[in-house]
Every structure is written in structure tokens, then in C-alpha cells.
Amino acid sequence: MTHIQRMVIGMAVWMAVAACALWIPTAQAEQTRFNYRLKWLFNTSVAGDVFAMENGFFADAGLDVQVREGSPEKDAIKELELGYAHFGVASADQVIRALEKGADVVVLAQVFQINPMQWIYRYPQVQITHPADLKQYHLGVTFGGNDETIMQTLLATADLTLRDVKVTGVRFDFTPFLKNQVDLWPVYRNSQGVILADRLAKEGETVRFLNPADFGVDFVANSIVTSGAMAADYPDLVARFLSALLAAWEAAMDPANQASVLAAVKKYDTGTQGQVQAAQLDVTRTLVKPDPDIPVGRIQTAAWAQTEAIMLDQGLIRTPVHVTSRLRNPVLVQ
């Protein structure tokens, strides 16, 4: 190795160490800095997160939180492991898969009380009163996605499998559903579901949504996570972060704050029309806080246990991970 190569490598290592040191929590810092990695892009689904950073919730708690968009390529749990993020948002299946691989991750709060992953269908053309009714319809499923796991579980409640129904693989193109070639299409109820329902309503069609939870399939969606080491070493900072974030979510889900919440979301999601965002926020509210007495962030232990059981039963994990032992907020765990 040449001298220049050694210098380049040495500089790279120094820069990496310096970058990490920049955001390691320190009691001496005027404001403790954190990175918080979301699961998806800025839109109405993350209204509470956007509201927190736009309205000073973190700063009031003495925290400097960098809220960063997620994407399919940005895994919050992996970033926790690498030290790139201190907190993140991950779906339950991501948490459970990571635990099986030995990741040190704990769950601090559960954002959605009702999973937004549901199926849209035209009514009364399609009518579903029992999972067995699905046998007569053409289903859309994202192979390898959450919705495939959920649909397999839903079908199993009627002693059916995907082989017993007609299935089409789903991508980002809604054309097969819009052309009436597929009867039920998987959507996130509070984002794509709103857009499709609005479009079909303008064409005089009525839609409904198949919610697997209505038939006893509770598969947990997005939750707030951190590393076990972070929770153990900095309990006060973790508590301050979570308290500020959940307070923001509570405020964001209050209809009285709708205008200011939409203004905050619009600042980051400029491509969605205002009336659509308003409708998306209305639906998000029903999924995050379905009852006024339910605190934002409540962790449903039974649903986590069922999610792990579903994944174990379908071979998505090979051994139990005892995920309920990683639910770490005694106030929110129920």
C-alpha cells in the first residue's frame, strides 16, 4: 500500500469517526441531536412526525431531531445497527425478521392501531361477508410483500390458500384494477385508497375496503423503534424523544388542528392536491386513533404475538423470536 493510499484511508476513517461523533448523544450538548428515519416518504401518513418538526415539539424537549424520509432502500433498523439513526419507523414484520437475525431492536410505540394495508373493491359488484367469499373473485397481491402474508392468513381462516383463488401480481400500476380486470386491489387505505376512491367516485362508482382485522387478522403495521442499547443507556433521552413525538401525533390527530397539520404536510408533499390530503388525514385519524380514549402509540401485545405467529406459521421466520419481550413502553403496552 502506498503512502497516498494510507493517507486516503486514514482520512476516510477519521471523517467517519468525526461524523459519528457529531451525533452521539452528549449531556454537554445544548440540544441533543438525533436522527429519526421514517419508513416512507413525507405525506399525510406521517402527519404526526411532520407536525412535530414543524411546530417545535422536539426543540421544546431540548432535542435536535433530524426527521428523514424513508424509502424501500432505506431500512430504519439497519440504520440503527450502523449508527446512522437513533430512532426509526419499521413495520412489525421488519422488526420480527430483524430479531431473528439477532438485531438489537426494541419497540417504543405503535403508530397505527389499525393496519392501513387493505383491499379496495367496487360495491355492490363485489360483496364480502366472510373470507370464503374471496374464492369467487380475482385478487391482486404483491408477491413478497406484507399484503401477500396478510391475504394468505385471511384465506387460511376459510381453509383456503392462494392456489384456491385467481391472483394477479401487483406493481405500482393501478391499471388492472381501474380497467376492472382485477376485483380486489391492495392499497394503503389512507393514501392510495383515498386517491382511487376519489377517482372512481367521479366516474359514478362506489368502493369499499376489505379490512382483514374485521375477520380477526391483526397484523401490526408501522411502529417506532430504537436499539436496545439506546433504550438501556439513555432512558431519559429516549423518554423525552418519545414524549415529544407522541404529543405531536396527539395534536396532529386532533380535528381542531387540521388546518395547521395540512399546512405542515403540504410543505413537504407538494404534489398531492389539498382536498385529497384533507381526506387522507381524515382516514389516517381513524387508523391511528380509532377511539378518543386510545392513546396515540398504544402497543397491542396480542396483535404483535399474532403477527409473529402468522410469520412463523407461513415460514417467514424459522424460529420464535418472542417479540412481545421487545415491547418496551410499560405505559403504552396493553
Domain residue ranges of the chain, discontinuous segments joined by +: 32-114+220-332, 117-215
* CATH 3.40.190.10 matches 32-114+220-332: yes
Q: How far is CA 18 from CA 21, 47, 293, 299, in A?
A: 5, 33, 46, 37
Residue 247 grid cell: 404529543
Q: Residue 279: phi, psi to the nearest 5?
A: -65, -40
- Residue 92 pLDDT: 93
How far apart CA 147 and CA 321 sit, in angstroms, is 22
Residue 66 grid cell: 433530524
pTM equals 0.85
pLDDT (tens, 9 = 90+) of the chain, 334 residues, equals 444 344 334 334 333 433 443 344 444 445 688 999 999 899 999 999 999 999 999 999 999 999 999 887 889 999 999 999 999 999 999 999 999 999 999 999 999 999 999 999 999 999 999 999 999 999 999 998 889 999 999 999 999 999 999 999 998 789 999 999 999 999 999 999 999 999 999 999 999 999 999 999 999 999 999 999 999 999 999 999 999 999 999 999 999 999 999 999 999 999 999 999 999 999 999 999 999 999 999 999 999 999 999 999 989 899 999 999 999 865 566 6
How far apart CA 97 and CA 297 sit, in angstroms, is 22
How far apart CA 199 and CA 187 sit, in angstroms, is 14
Which residues in 183-260 belong to E strands, given as ranges? 184-188, 206-210, 223-227
Residue 317 grid cell: 421466520
- Residue 65 pLDDT: 96
3-state DSSP call for residue 187? strand
CB atoms within 10 A of CB 53: 18
Residue 286 contacts residue 305 (beta carbons within 8 Å): no
Q: How far is CA 183 from CA 166, 217, 323, in A?
A: 10, 21, 35
- Residue 146 pLDDT: 87
The domains spanning 32-114+220-332 and 117-215 adopt the same CATH topology:
yes
Which of 33, 39, 37, 55 minimizes the C-alpha distance to 265? 55
Element (H, E) at 93: helix 92-100
The answer for residues whose C-beta is within 8 angstroms of residue 312's C-beta and 6 or more apart is 319, 320
- Residue 172 pLDDT: 78
How far apart CA 62 and CA 64 sit, in angstroms, is 7
- Residue 30 pLDDT: 55
- Residue 333 pLDDT: 63
Distance of CA 121 to the CA centre of its chain: 23
Name the CA dihedral angle for 191, 192, 197, 199, rounded to a multiple of 10 degrees. 120
Residue 242 contacts residue 332 (beta carbons within 8 Å): no
Element (H, E) at 121: strand 117-123
Provide the b/e sequence for 265-280 (b: ≥16 CB within 10 Å): beebbeebeeeebbbb
The answer for residues whose C-beta is within 8 angstroms of residue 315's C-beta and 6 or more apart is none
How far apart CA 161 and CA 266 sit, in angstroms, is 42
* CATH 3.40.50.720 matches 117-215: no
How far apart CA 87 and CA 193 sit, in angstroms, is 28
How far apart CA 88 and CA 230 sit, in angstroms, is 12
DSSP code for 170:
-
Cis amide bond preceding 124, omega within 30? yes
